[in-house]
């Protein structure tokens, strides 16, 4: 990584002097001590224990019995697991592009010199950020209630057939995507606004003088310069969608039936409601594996310089 | 810069999108002031025909809101204080000291954003239980203290402070801890405030940790209490709407007071937890 070069180059002499100071190991060790202990207990601990449990038949009481790869064999033969995994991936693939486009579009409108009411609009776009996923789920459930919701009522007013927002799996997923976008936009929008403000005005002005149209300016200058932010938004959005849980709990509970059950809910259901801790741990490990792969793929595309 | 002409179509688009974002929350808020009989009676109207607080009264008497507010507030405040302190200490070490193990640990911390432990719920639960933290508020507080975002924010900030300041203080004979508490931490106050705001929001709205850790309804946080209403077979909408609105009030106040900090937060890292 670039870490070593930046560390060595500007402060070579100070680094030399520091090495001779006594207590240079002890001091930073004390500074990170609390974080290190917490990291070990609440991050490494559950990870290692989860891996161990995934090879046992632990049910929460008694002592775990080693069963080797049984849980994983069961898992990969379990139709419900594939259904859950597929649904989670579907949700991720559908929602992330929507999140990106909506947040970027709003950020562009809010930073454009040609729009008014930006301050008020910005506050409005921020409202969903205050609202917890549980309450956001309640809000959208109320809006899209099949028998009582406003949306279906409006459909009847304009003589359209009412839609089965709750009992049709795909429509229910659609509402979930809308609700997720609504809740996640404020944060992504902030990231995009910060990045847009960092684009030197001179670039765009120079392009304009050279006769570039506004769409050319956007696709040739703005979008390439937004690349790092874009990757960050996509990465965080993907990870967030893969572990979506609270919003679903409040919005449709994974329903209708189990049609919209996602990975985390499946882990919760098998691990806590059915106390199959070994099996649920195996599912967790698979999910972690997927998240690692996603993170690695995205990191390869985007070498974040700010980490150096 | 030249003043540009206002584009009416673009402004109109912005207004429409903003209204689209506002509407779900507005409809929900206005509905909470309708009497139970009016909630489902057609034709639906945007504004309540009779304004009433009866939903709020029922919610307030039916649920022990003071307790949920107390639990949630306590967790949010204590966790936030600890998060700020631990993040500052750790971020400072990452910014101002160099060694291979600090770098390694920094990468580990960054990895926690990619790999959320709350996903490994069963084993996380087992650890909480074995530490004797099950069903205690401490069980939500302690695991939530470290956040990669907070550590990262402080690290980035402390890197901008010149090393000369540190060297000068060392030459004057100040101890390392004193340098941190008297010079460095006060300098990082804006970061501390921003992180504190975000942390309160994360903890107030957190669902998954309380769900894993708490079992006793007396220790429920607001989110768990709300979930118990929405998870019921027959949702009492009148109560649910008002209860949800009540749960939002502290966040609205937080936003109103610290708006400037939130909207101008220089977020270049994953400010999400």
Give per-residue pLDDT as tens, B83-96: 999 999 999 999 99
Examine residue B225 and state whether it is found in any structural domain, yes or no: yes
Examine residue B256 and state whether it is found in any structural domain, yes or no: yes
DSSP string over chain A: -THHHHHHTTTHHHHHHHHHSTTTTHHHHHHHHHHHHHHIIIIIHHHHHHHHHTTB---SSS---B-TTHHHHHHHT-HHHHHHHHHHHHHHHHHHHHHHHHHHHHHHHHH-TT---HHHHHHHHHHHHHS-HHHHHHHHHHHT-TTT-HHHHHHHHTTPPPP-TTTSHHHHHHHHHHHHHHHHHHHHHHHHHHHHHTS-HHHHHHHHHTT--HHHHIIIIIHHHTHHHHHHHHHHHHHHHHT--HHHHHHTTT-STTTT--HHHHHHIIIIIS--HHHHHHHHHHHHHHHHHHHHHHHHH---GGG-
- Among A277, A295, A307, the residue with its CB nearest the CB of B122 is A277
The per-residue pLDDT of chain A, averaged, comes to: 85
Binary contact (A105, B102; C-beta < 8 A): no
Chain B 42-61, CB below 8 Å of chain A: which residues?
Answer: 42-44
Residue A11, pLDDT > 70, answer no
The model's confidence at residue B39, banded by pLDDT at 50, 70 and 90, is confident
According to the model, what pLDDT value does residue A179 have? 95
> What's the rounded mean pLDDT across residues A125-137?
92
According to the model, what pLDDT value does residue A102 have? 95
> What's the rounded mean pLDDT across residues B229-242?
84
Pair A215, A291: CB distance under 8 Å: no
B186 touches chain A (CB under 8 A): no
Examine residue B14 and state whether it is found in any structural domain, yes or no: no
The model's confidence at residue A283, banded by pLDDT at 50, 70 and 90, is very high
The model's confidence at residue B38, banded by pLDDT at 50, 70 and 90, is confident
Binary contact (A27, B86; C-beta < 8 A): no
Residue A180, pLDDT > 80, answer yes
Residue B230, pLDDT > 80, answer yes
According to the model, what pLDDT value does residue B85 have? 96
Residue B268, pLDDT > 60, answer no
Examine residue B48 and state whether it is found in any structural domain, yes or no: no
Nearest-Cα distance to chain A for B216, in Å, is: 16
Instruction: Provide the residue count of chain A.
Output: 308
> What's the rounded mean pLDDT across residues A42-65?
89
Residue B41, pLDDT > 90, answer no
Best of B118, B119, B255 to substitute, by most chain A Cβ atoms within 10 angstroms, is B119
Tokens 């989670």 belong to which residue? A88
Residue A305, pLDDT > 60, answer no
Binary contact (A39, B143; C-beta < 8 A): no
Tokens 């207990």 belong to which residue? A41
Examine residue B82 and state whether it is found in any structural domain, yes or no: yes
Interatomic CA distance for residues A62 and A200, integer angstroms: 64
Residue B140: domain span:
63-263
Binary contact (A23, B176; C-beta < 8 A): yes
All CATH 1.10.3720.10 domain ranges of chain A, comma separated, are 72-307
The per-residue pLDDT of chain B, averaged, comes to: 87
> What's the rounded mean pLDDT across residues B229-246?
86
According to the model, what pLDDT value does residue A12 have? 41
CB pairs under 8 A between A and B: 286
Instruction: Tell me the chain A residues in contact with residue B201 when contact means C-beta distances shorter than 8 Å.
Output: 129-130
Examine residue B230 and state whether it is found in any structural domain, yes or no: yes
B151 touches chain A (CB under 8 A): yes
Residue A20, pLDDT > 70, answer no
Examine residue B12 and state whether it is found in any structural domain, yes or no: no
CATH number at residue B111: 1.10.3720.10
Please count the structural domains in chain B: 1
Examine residue B43 and state whether it is found in any structural domain, yes or no: no
According to the model, what pLDDT value does residue B12 have? 92
Domain A72-307 CATH assignment equals 1.10.357.10: no
According to the model, what pLDDT value does residue A15 have? 46
Whether a cis peptide bond, with omega within 30° of 0, leads into B26 is no
Pair B149, A297: CB distance under 8 Å: no
Give per-residue pLDDT as tens, A221-241: 888 888 888 888 898 899 889
Give per-residue pLDDT as tens, B130-156: 999 999 999 999 999 999 889 998 998
């Amino acid at each position: 990584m670039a870490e070593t070069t930046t560390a060595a180059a500007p402060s070579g002499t100070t680094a030399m002097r520091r090495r001779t100071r006594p207590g240079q190991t002890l001091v930073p060790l004390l500074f990170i001590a609390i974080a290190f202990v917490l990291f070990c207990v609440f991050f490494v601990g559950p990870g290692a224990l989860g891996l161990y449990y995934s090879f046992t038949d632990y049910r929460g009481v008694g002592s775990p019995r080693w069963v080797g790869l049984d849980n994983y064999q069961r898992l990969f033969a379990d139709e419900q697991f594939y259904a859950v995994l597929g649904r989670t991936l579907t949700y991720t693939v559908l929602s992330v592009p929507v999140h990106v486009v909506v947040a970027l579009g709003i950020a562009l409108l809010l930073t454009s010199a040609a729009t008014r009411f930006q301050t008020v609009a910005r506050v409005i776009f921020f409202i969903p950020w205050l609202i917890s996923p549980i309450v956001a789920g309640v809000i959208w459930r109320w809006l899209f209630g099949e028998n009582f919701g406003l949306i279906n009522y409006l459909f009847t007013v304009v003589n359209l057939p009412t839609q089965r927002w709750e009992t049709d799996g795909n429509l229910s997923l659609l509402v979930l995507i809308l609700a997720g976008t609504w809740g996640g936009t404020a944060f992504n929008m902030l990231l995009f606004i910060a990045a847009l403000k960092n684009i030197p005005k001179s670039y765009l002005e120079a392009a304009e003088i050279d006769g570039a149209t506004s769409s050319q300016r956007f696709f040739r200058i703005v979008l390439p310069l937004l690349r790092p932010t874009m990757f960050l938004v996509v990465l965080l959005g993907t990870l967030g969608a893969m572990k979506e849980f609270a919003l679903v709990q409040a919005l449709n509970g994974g329903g209708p039936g189990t049609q919209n059950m996602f990975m985390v809910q499946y882990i919760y259901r098998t691990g806590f409601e059915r106390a199959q801790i070994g099996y649920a741990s195996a599912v967790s490990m698979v999910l972690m594996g997927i998240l690692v792969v996603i993170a690695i793929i995205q990191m390869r595309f985007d070498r974040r310089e700010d980490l150096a | 810069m030249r003043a540009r002409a206002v584009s009416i179509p673009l402004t109109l688009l912005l207004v429409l999108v903003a209204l689209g974002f506002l509407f779900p929350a507005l409809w929900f808020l206005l509905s909470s002031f309708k009497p139970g009989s009016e909630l489902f009676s057609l034709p639906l109207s945007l504004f309540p025909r009779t304004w009433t607080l009866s939903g709020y009264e029922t919610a307030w008497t039916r649920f022990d809101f003071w307790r949920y507010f107390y639990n949630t507030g306590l967790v949010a405040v204590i966790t936030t204080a600890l998060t700020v302190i631990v993040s500052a200490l750790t971020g400072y070490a990452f910014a101002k000291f160099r060694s291979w193990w600090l770098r390694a640990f920094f990468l580990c911390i960054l990895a926690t954003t990619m790999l959320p432990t709350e996903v490994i719920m069963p084993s996380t639960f087992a650890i909480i239980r074995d530490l004797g933290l099950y069903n205690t508020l401490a069980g939500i507080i302690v695991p939530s203290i470290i956040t990669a975002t907070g550590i990262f924010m402080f690290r980035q900030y402390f890197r901008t402070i010149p090393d000369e300041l540190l060297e000068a203080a060392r030459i004057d004979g100040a101890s390392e801890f004193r340098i941190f508490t008297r010079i460095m931490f006060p300098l990082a106050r804006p970061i501390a405030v921003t992180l504190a705001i975000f942390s309160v929001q994360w903890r107030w709205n957190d669902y998954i940790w309380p769900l894993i850790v708490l079992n006793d309804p007396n220790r429920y946080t607001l989110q768990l209490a709300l979930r118990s209403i929405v998870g019921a077979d027959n949702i009492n909408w009148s109560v649910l709407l008002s209860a949800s609105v009540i749960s939002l009030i502290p966040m609205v106040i937080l936003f109103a007071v610290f708006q400037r900090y939130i909207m101008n937060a220089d977020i270049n890292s994953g400010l999400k937890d």
